Amino acid sequence: MPRLFAFIPFRRARLVILLGLLFATIVWAAETENRRHARTRWERPIRVGIVLLAGEGAKVNADQWRRGLDALSSRLDAEMRRWRGAGEPPFQFEIVGPFRWDGAFPLSPPSDRFADRAFHMLGLWRVLRNIDGVAGVDQSNWDVRLYVLGARVPGWDGSFAEGAGIQNGEVALVRGSAGGDISLPLQVIGHELLHTVGASDKYDDGGHALEPEGLVEPERAPRYPQAHAEWMAGEVPVSPGAGKPPSSLDDLGVGPVTAREIGWASPVRLASSSTRGPPGRGGD
């Protein structure tokens, strides 16, 4: 009997602990969701911390990246104004670094299996914790953190970029050319940033723009060739299932489906999107 009485309080204590953990998880999830919805109300610019990293043998020019990010900000601002009219810019960049980083930069798990994805997330958390320690990053300073690793590919002097970002997430990664022409890494940064505010990918398994959601001007007549690449597709469609890479930030635009996903356009405005002009050039 004494053992029974000892067991009952323990069971109640365990229940209280579990309920407390459940409540804390619900509160955390609600706060996270509220922050994500607040971002897409566009009541102020989204503060983005760009953590510049220089991989082995790579040189990262902070001034060059500052100029490039100014151009990216202007291009995204132009697209937002095309949909919403005059207002504050969508993103506000702050550069930290560059810092030397020779460690791993895990962009994606080896497979879609749950175990691989779980271990990848754990590894990513550890890597970013280490980078934040090196860079002295205070996560509370920004709404979104974007880590850019300037890298070199032995025997290759051209431009390249690859990235990863969770839809509606608060962290994104981009690995790309360290110097020279950084247009391609900037394009990928824009793509991953739009992921963080709710945009989905709009390309097929072959990397070609889906139709019509992967088109900036789906109402264009004739539909092909398109004049711009949808930012979430990454190519300028020249015919169904075929396209060419954008040559600069000016060749990228936000189509009606992406505009709806990120809160730049409502379904009502989408219904009349055919009255809107095509994307402008540069910051016009």
pLDDT at residue 282 above 60? no
Q: What's the pLDDT score for residue 27?
A: 41
Percent of the chain at pLDDT exceeding 70: 79
Q: What is the arithmetic mean of pLDDT over 29-56?
A: 78
**Percent helix, percent strand, percent coil in the chain, to nearest 5:** 40, 20, 40
Q: Is the pTM of this model over 0.95?
A: no
Strands (E), the chain: 46-54, 91-100, 144-151, 161-165, 171-177, 229-230, 236-239, 242-244, 252-253
pLDDT of 284 strictly over 90: no
Which pLDDT score, from 0 to 100, does residue 137 have?
84
pLDDT at position 14 is 63
Q: How confident is the model at residue 28 (pLDDT cuts 50, 70, 90)?
A: very low
What percent of the chain lies above the pLDDT cut of 90? 54
**Model confidence at 18: pLDDT above 70:** no
The CA distance from 199 to 214, in Å, is 11
Does residue 184 contact residue 92 with C-beta atoms inside 8 Å? no
pLDDT digits (tens, 9 = 90+) for 156-201: 667 888 998 888 899 999 999 877 789 999 999 999 999 999 999 9
Q: How do residues 238-278 score in pLDDT, each as one tens digit? A: 999 999 999 999 999 999 999 999 999 865 444 444 445 56
Residues 279 and 82: beta-carbon distance below 8 Å: yes
Whether residue 112 is predicted with pLDDT greater than 80 in this model: the reply is yes
The residues, any chain, with a CB within 8 Å of residue 169's CB and separated by 6 or more, are: 195, 196
**If you count them, how many residues does the chain have?**
284
Higher pLDDT, 25 or 77: 77
Place of tokens 């990246």: 65
pLDDT score at 6: 53
The pLDDT score that the predictor gives to residue 63 is: 93
Is the pLDDT reported for residue 283 higher than 60?
A: no
Q: What is the pLDDT of residues 207-228, one digit of tens each?
A: 999 999 999 999 999 999 999 9
